[in-house]
A = this chain, B = another copy of it.
Amino acid sequence: MSDAISPLASPFPALPAIAGATPHIVRAGYKDWGRCDLTYIELAEGTAVAGVFTRNVCCSSEVELGRQNIAQGQARALVVNAGNSNAFTGYRGREAVEQIMDQVAAHIGCAREQVFVSSTGVIGVPLPKDKARAGIEAALLAAPCTWEDAARTIGTTDTFTKGATASAMIGDTRVSFSAIIKGSGMIAPDMATMLGYVFTDAAVSPAFLQECLSAANRETFSCITVDSDTSTSDTVLAFATGKAGNSPLTSFDSPGADAFAAALHDICRQLAHLVVRDGEGAQKFIAVSVSGAVSDESARKVGLAIANSPLVKTAIAGEDANWGRVVMAVGKAGEPADRDRLSIGFGGTWAARDGQPLADYDEAPVAAHLKGRDISIEVDLGLGEGRATVWTCDLTHGYISINADYRS
């Protein structure tokens, strides 16, 4: 945890216990720090699992093995190592992950493929096997902890601890969700890693859980950016223990499936926003809403081009209604756009319409909006029905200080 807490931080919410999912934390000592850095979450027999992973082709062994193991659909444990990402460490890194999987599987008496491992921290240093072994041994004996403890322990350079909750009615049964996430602080010379975990007591088939998670991911985690740099280790896993006793969900035809999918989507959006709110150096939370695109996917790409533009992000940091930079970012996105149909606004006030500055544009409400913490940029491409919202933060001196003002 950093000393300076993000001005966009929100307090850790009250997360319900999830029957069948029990967190534990210990200090493996992956770094020379006086804090817990190994999280072990035991999952009840029959827990369904789904996951989405980084598309970075230089991904870690954790991501590689996790992606393989999702296929069999069941999980009995999750291990998260903080302080070392174990990425780009060749066969030694892979051996360390396999050792953890074997050790936990032997203890629980489950298949190795049902143990999921994530690691976050410095790249290029193999995870020390002796520390991992001793850490796991201690974790298997440790007393349960709170979700907040677990959320704090998976963090690295995060400036605040991040969790979210949701619930849904399936028939007469209320199912609960608790979720934790880390990511986007970066003070050590490490790469940002986003790791998120959603736990629910709902009974859901692995295939339907994956369908809901993938759909939620497309409109939440895949619609945020802090600095356009994709980590080697990004992972979001959803675990459903089935302990709520609802009639199991297997598709959108199951009663209550829509409510479940909506709750999962809601919690993913909450988690994604928390990561942006802890973006490196962030002073403002920015929502970019694009409408009138030829498709939703095209709208998302245009939104990301705007959200990744250093010139747009520095303009917002400077509280400057520089809509010309938004025009530029739309035009470079590589997606269908027509300059003469393009409209741009801030906080609900149009600055330019149909390819020209508005004759009666009143900058006063826009200037007032830009002084706030929560900023919205509206773009209408005027071409079709495609729409998307993308979230990011501003680009400030804080980002440079975090990432350049040191010598490793």
Contact = CB atoms under 8 A, between A and B. Distances in A.
A323 to B, nearest CB: 7
B327 A408 contact: no
Contact of A228 (B308, B354, B396): B308
A356 B230 CA distance: 20
A245 interface: no
A329 B189 CA distance: 15
Nearest to A351: B124
A331 B59 contact: yes
Contacts of A269: none
Nearest to A371: B407
A352 B320 contact: no
B314 A403 contact: yes
A342 interface: yes
Interface in A4-22: none
Contacts of A399: 310, 314, 400
A315 B356 contact: no
Contact of A310 (B229, B332, B337, B408): B229
A122 interface: yes
A79 B55 CA distance: 47
Given A191-B328, A332-B56, A342-B58, A404 B314 contact: yes
Contacts of A308: 228
Given A191-B325, A320-B407, A330 B397 contact: no
A196 B313 CA distance: 27
Interface in A199-252: 227-232
A408 B88 contact: no
A296 interface: no
Contacts of A338: 57
A103 interface: no
Contacts of A354: 90
Interface in A44-86: 55-59
Given A89-B356, A314-B403, A232 B328 contact: yes
Given A57-B339, A356-B88, A406 B123 contact: no
- Helix, strand, loop or mixed for chain A's interface? loop
Interface string A367-408: 000000000000000000000000000111101110111111
Contact of A400 (B56, B317, B330): B317
Given A88-B327, A400-B314, A339 B230 contact: no
A329 B396 CA distance: 21
Interface string A308-322: 111100110111111
Residue from A337, A355, A404 whose CB has the most chain B CB atoms within 10 Å: A404
A326 to B, nearest CB: 10
A232 B403 contact: no
A318 B59 contact: no
Nearest to A398: B400
A324 interface: yes
A310 B88 contact: no
A400 B404 contact: no
A282 to B, nearest CB: 13
Residue from A231, A318, A354 whose CB has the most chain B CB atoms within 10 Å: A318
Given A87-B324, A318-B407, 10 more contacts: A56-B331, A87-B327, A88-B324, A90-B354, A90-B355, A186-B311, A228-B228, A320-B404, A395-B404, A399-B400
| Complex A-B, nearest 8 residue pairs according to Cβ-Cβ distance, in ascending order | A123-B324, A58-B331, A314-B403, A56-B331, A230-B332, A90-B356, A318-B404, A314-B404
Interface of A: 55-59, 87-90, 92, 122-125, 186, 189-192, 227-232, 308-311, 314-315, 317-325, 327-332, 337-340, 342, 352, 354-357, 394-397, 399-401, 403-408
20 contacts: A55-B332, A57-B330, A87-B327, A88-B357, A124-B323, A124-B324, A124-B352, A189-B320, A190-B324, A230-B331, A310-B310, A315-B403, A315-B404, A318-B404, A318-B405, A320-B404, A395-B404, A397-B400, A397-B401, A400-B400
